[in-house]
Amino acid sequence: MTRHTLSLALACFVQAACTRGTQAPPLRLGTTTTVDQSGALALLDSLHPTIPVRVVVGASGTIIRSAAAGDLDVVITHAPSLEQRLLLEPGHAALRCPFVTSRFAIVGPAADPAHVATAANAAEALRRIATVRARFISRADSSGTHIKELSLWKSAGVAPAVPQDTWYVQAGGDQAATLRIADERAAYALADLPTFTRLTGIDLHVLFTADTALGNPYTLYVIRSASHDSAAMRFSSWAMANWRPRLLAVRLPDGAAAFAPAAGECAPPVAVAGR
């Protein structure tokens, strides 16, 4: 299985290697940086899918827009509002499979100057950060993490403004890069827990997780314009039967499950059923 980001084009020799010995081009699987950096893609590699796969990694917003344009066959993303608006409502998804869920956490320095750890909920935690103007590092990249962060600020009744609010820093990078910036600046950030726990050499602490609003659902979609639809459908069945159970067995350092099953079964989206 080959992998690249949307900002990089695959070299011709890599594409040739993907298709050598197969009649059809590899399945184009688009997924997010947290699926990559959490170790979930490495696990997929180790399972050796029977269907040749070329993986494209990017922020959820970028992946979803590429899928809507017909450039991907299957996607796994974690931005429900964007998925609804850009994939489901226009009828671009032929199949929707609730895949797994992880959890977000608000992380920050051990000193916790905003007293995030004692907040009643995630919205209050962010409101405390804004009140004391403690530094917060945002991914600011239309990723699922960024979209979740924006929804939490909205719930908190806070609208950070750039550049006026100098405490609010837009990193414009992936999850790992954003967390390293937060670590360097002793700042707060929103983090996907399985990704955060794999990072080494940082002093940030998990400060707040106790809110159902911090759920992080991943959904697999087969895109209606898939160039070889049957392969996309076969991959979705294989992923649910083989990849997902292995993900559910992954544990965080404290022994808790890194991923939980997402409720529901694979089905054509209601909005496009019967089309």
Domains of the chain: 2-102+216-267 (3.40.190.10), 103-214 (3.40.190.10)
Q: Rounded to whole angstroms, how far apart are CA atoms 109 and 25?
A: 47
pLDDT at residue 16 in the model:
33
20 has a pLDDT exceeding 70? no
pLDDT at residue 17 in the model:
35
- pLDDT-based confidence at residue 214 (cuts at 50, 70, 90): very high
pLDDT at residue 229 in the model:
75
Average the pLDDT over each of 164-173, 240-249, 263-272 and give the range with the smallest value: 263-272
Q: Angle 157-161-167 (CA atoms, 0-180°, nearest 5)?
A: 95
**Structure letter (DSSP) for residue 120:** S
- pLDDT-based confidence at residue 1 (cuts at 50, 70, 90): low
160 contact partners, CB below 8 Å, separation of at least 6: 130, 136, 138, 153, 168
Residue entry with tokens 């609208």: 159
14 has a pLDDT exceeding 50? no
Q: Provide the token pair at 127.
A: 């409101």
pLDDT at residue 231 in the model:
93
- pLDDT-based confidence at residue 270 (cuts at 50, 70, 90): confident
pLDDT in tens, 88-103: 999 999 999 999 999 9
Report the mean per-residue pLDDT for the chain: 90
For residues 200-219, give the mean pLDDT.
Answer: 97
